[in-house]
A = this chain, B = another copy of it.
Amino acid sequence: VLSFLEALKRILVGRPEATGRRRPKPLRLRTGVPALSTSALSSLAYFPDEILLTLAVAGLAGLQLGPWVGLAVAAVILLLVACYRVSVRAYPDGRGDYQIAKENLGPVPGVVVGSALLLDLALTVAVSMSAAAHYVVAAWPALEGHEGLIAAAGVVSIAVIALRGAGRSPWARALPTLVFVGVLAVVVLVGLVLAASGHLGQAPSAGYDVVPLAQGGLTGLFGLVLVLRAFSTGSAALTGVEAPITGVSDLARPRAANAGRVLVVLGITATALTLSVMWLARATGIKIVEDPSTQLSLHGEPVEDYVQAPVLSQLTQAVLGGGWPVIVFGAVTVVVLLAAGLSGFTAFPRLAYHLATDGYLPRQLRTRGDRMGYSNGILVLAASALLLVLVTGAHLSVLVQVYVVGVFVSFTLSQVGMTRHWTLRIRSVPRGPRRSALHRYRLLAVVGAALSLLVLGVVLITKFTHGAWLAASAIVVLTVGMTRIHAHYGHVDRELAVVGDPSETSLPSRVHALVLVSTVRKPVLRALSYARATRPHHLEAVLVDNDPEKTVRAVKAWTQLNLPAPLTVLASPYRDMLPPLLNHIRRLRARSPRDLVVVYVPEYVVGHWWETLVHNQAGIRLRTRLRREPGVVLSTVPWQLGPVGHAQAEPRPERTREQE
């Protein structure tokens, strides 16, 4: 019979799978392109909004700059894609930026990149679910104010899907993106045609005025900072551009070449959609602000009870009209965001597995769960994402800042690493077309590193107080933690390595068995019999006298029963169990240090958890303390108490999986 918790787990997660019984099919190009672009393309659901609401601080004039910021973001996407195409050919094993930084720059940069990527993947989940929550609220305004809980429900749902190992078939991974891009392409194309023919309608928010929050508008340093902020916010578009690299092992062979092709299609699609969406947003007059009640006005009056719809929803309404097109596209967007979150649940546990294999994270992250997923990694990710959405209340603007820092830290370090990589390779290749290709690769890496360093600087300077400090400190904390874990494992490995020294297998000279007695009852007699069965050189029963009445009774019973071992009573003036026992053991060990002391502790095993409360838990404290004594083995002799009404417990049948 399964316990309640086991049954719950079985319902949520499903029956265990045997090792190696099921392998997901490889992704061919037609499924691989959409499946590995989910995370990147789904960011179109939220980053245009973030760009516009940053620009709206400068009023209407600011919003006019939207397409130009979009252009800058598109340029960065193209550069990243180009760089990654080269990287994946050099490092085709799926460990991506972490591997590149580690091999070319050393372990610390590798760990920094690992930390940044772990943070980013947690944020991918948090951001996707928060954006999904906003789409849900836009469709269902009564839920406003509960975005955090909706996002949390989303995190829990996809975590359960990930634990079940569901949604891993190629088409299940590909379809959400295909549909989303298809629908978005229709909206964009129709919009562009309407615009060309001069029939493009206006968005619902087109009629509002935007009240500038800053008096200076776009002039001077403040204007520059604002545009740079909008650009760095827009870099959220880079979410998941590295997915084709880390997911390369899911692709059909030739993997690296296919990953390159995925990157090309992804880059072109993302660029084209970014540019058109940003341009159409301006053309249809979409206004997005942080706080509609203070920043929007209609004929000079502030607006009340206005629920701000996301850019894509407003665009759909302007192009195809309100009603069902908006609802359908909203549903499609929520599905693609769920798929993007799920892709984070694939990538994070994998990266954690690689880091754990290299000894930077706890080994438990390498364990495969019932459904073959790295379940500990999934649980850690779910907990982190839950924390993020609940603490921020699914507030996208904050989450996006934290995210962008991670992207550019890892990208900068990986491109510096690639520069080093190509420099080393160039030396070993003779002059010729092969060598000039390597020179081109290196140039690309240098440009990529320089540009991303620049963007990182912009983000850190213009957004430090807006959340970038959080990202920076999280990366530092993770890096220090991972370095310490690695040092610990290294130390343990050195200390525990078997060197073939004969002392390692030498036997203790004699065995001294101590049977711990508190009252003379059956479990003590059983412990005594078991201790005798191991034929120790010395056998002694020990009683710590912390209750004189009980001691007298026990000594009397011991003598009457004529038991085959002497009973030593240890004085305990402070009524404490441990110090007298430890002193006794130390005296024995001091007399003959090469002896082994085995302490036999009779232990009651009760049927119900509450029954443990009414028994002294001395055994637990004893175990914790005796573990620290060298040369002492603690043997627990359990006595299974039957339920009330039975004389002796039947051994509980353990249902093993083989018997199912």
Residues in chain A within 8 A of chain B (CB atoms): 16-19, 362-364, 366-368, 370, 485, 487-489, 491-492, 495-498, 500, 504-508, 511, 520-523, 525-526, 528-530, 532-536, 547-548, 557, 561, 563-564, 573-576, 578-580, 582-583, 596, 598, 600, 603-605, 611, 613-616, 623, 625-630, 632-642, 644-645, 647-649, 651-652, 654, 656-658
What residues of B have a CB within 8 angstroms of the CB of A615 in the complex? 362-363
B511 touches A498 (CB 8 A): no
Contacts of A547 in B (CB 8 A): 366
The answer to whether residues A633 and B635 also contact, given A506-B529, A534-B535, A656-B583 and a CB cut-off of 8 A, is: yes
Given A508-B529, A636-B634, A561-B613 contact (CB < 8 Å): no
B645, A628: Cβ atoms closer than 8 Å: no
Task: Check B367 against A575 for contact (C-beta < 8 Å).
Answer: yes
Closest to A491 in B: B644
Which B residues lie within 8 Å of A580 (CB)?
656
Cα distance, A426 to B303, chains bound together (Å): 92
CB <8 Å contact, B485 and A614: yes
From the candidates B485, B523, B627, B633, name the one contacting A496 in the complex (CB within 8 A). Answer: B523
The answer to whether B644 and A640 have CB atoms under 8 Å apart is: no
Contact with A525, one of B504, B582, B583 (Cβ below 8 angstroms): B504
A579 and B660 CA atoms in complex are apart in Å by: 12
The reply to whether A651 and B636 form a contact with Cβ atoms under 8 Å apart is no
Main secondary structure of the interface of A (DSSP, over half): mixed
A520 touches B498 (CB 8 A): yes
The reply to whether B638 and A628 contact each other, CB–CB distance below 8 Å, is yes
Q: 5 A–B contact pairs at CB < 8 A?
A: A16-B576, A498-B557, A579-B656, A579-B657, A583-B656
Cβ contact within 8 Å between A582 and B19: no
Contact of A495 among B507, B576, B613, B642 (CB under 8 A): B642
The residue in A520, A523, A654 that gathers the most chain B C-beta atoms within 10 A of its C-beta is A654
In angstroms, Cα B505 to Cα A528, docked, is 8
Complex Cα gap A574–B659 (Å): 13
Residues of chain B within 8 A (CB-CB) of A578 are: 654
Chain B residues, Cβ within 8 Å of A598: 534, 635
Please give the distance in Å from A191's CB to the nearest CB on chain B: 52
Q: Which of B533, B642, B645 contacts A508 (CB 8 A)?
A: B533
Q: Is the CB of A629 within 8 A of B603?
A: no
- On chain B, the residues within 8 Å of A528 by CB distance are 505
List chain B residues, Cβ under 8 A from A564: 505
The oligomer's copy count stands at 2
Q: Please indicate the chain B residues that have their CB under 8 angstroms from the CB of A367 in the complex.
A: 575
The answer on a CB contact under 8 Å between A579 and B492 is no
- The answer on a CB contact under 8 Å between B505 and A596 is no
Q: Are the C-beta atoms of B508 and A530 separated by less than 8 Å?
A: yes
Query: Which residues of chain B are within 8 angstroms of A623 by Cβ–Cβ distance?
Result: 636
Contacts of A647 in B (CB 8 A): 495
Complex-state Cα separation, A580 to B638, whole angstroms: 21
The distance from the CB of A545 to the nearest CB of chain B, in whole angstroms, is: 10
**One of B17, B497, B557, B635 near A635 (C-beta < 8 A):** B635
| Residues of B with C-beta under 8 A to A548 | 19
- Expressed in whole angstroms, the minimum distance between the Cβ of A515 and any Cβ of chain B is 12
- Is the pair B520, A507 in contact by a Cβ cutoff of 8 Å? no
Known contacts A530-B596, A575-B19, A656-B582, A522 near B504 by CB under 8 Å: yes
Flag if B485 contacts A507 (CB, 8 Å).
Answer: no
- Considering only CB atoms, which chain B residue lies closest to A608 in the complex? B488
Q: Chain B: which residue is nearest A651 at the CB level?
A: B630
CA distance A489 to B614 in the complex (A): 9
Q: Which residues of B contact A644 (CB under 8 A)?
A: 487-488, 491
Once bound together, how far apart are the Cα atoms of A649 and B496, in whole Å? 12
User: How distant is the Cα of A419 from the Cα of B615 in the complex, in angstroms?
Assistant: 38
Asked if residues B522 and A507 are in contact (CB atoms below 8 Å), the reply is no
A604-B645 in contact (CB<8A): no
Assembled-state Cα–Cα distance A351/B604 (Å): 27
Q: In whole angstroms, what is the CA distance A536 to B523 when docked?
A: 22
Determine the chain B residues whose CB is within 8 A of the CB of A654 once the complex forms: 578-579, 582, 625
What residues on B are CB-neighbors of A508 within 8 Å?
Answer: 529-530, 533
Across the interface, A651 reaches (CB within 8 A) one of B526, B529, B533, B628, namely B628
A366-B547, A583-B658 known; 8 new pairs, CB 8 Å cut-off, are: A19-B574, A362-B615, A363-B615, A534-B535, A576-B657, A579-B656, A598-B635, A634-B635
Chain B's closest residue to A356 (CB) is B614
- Residue on B nearest A496 in the bound complex, by CB: B521
Q: What are the residues of chain B within 8 A of A525 when measuring CB–CB?
A: 498, 504-505
Residues of B within 8 A of A626 (CB): 638
Q: Is the CB of A641 within 8 A of B370?
A: no
Residues of B within 8 A of A487 (CB): 644
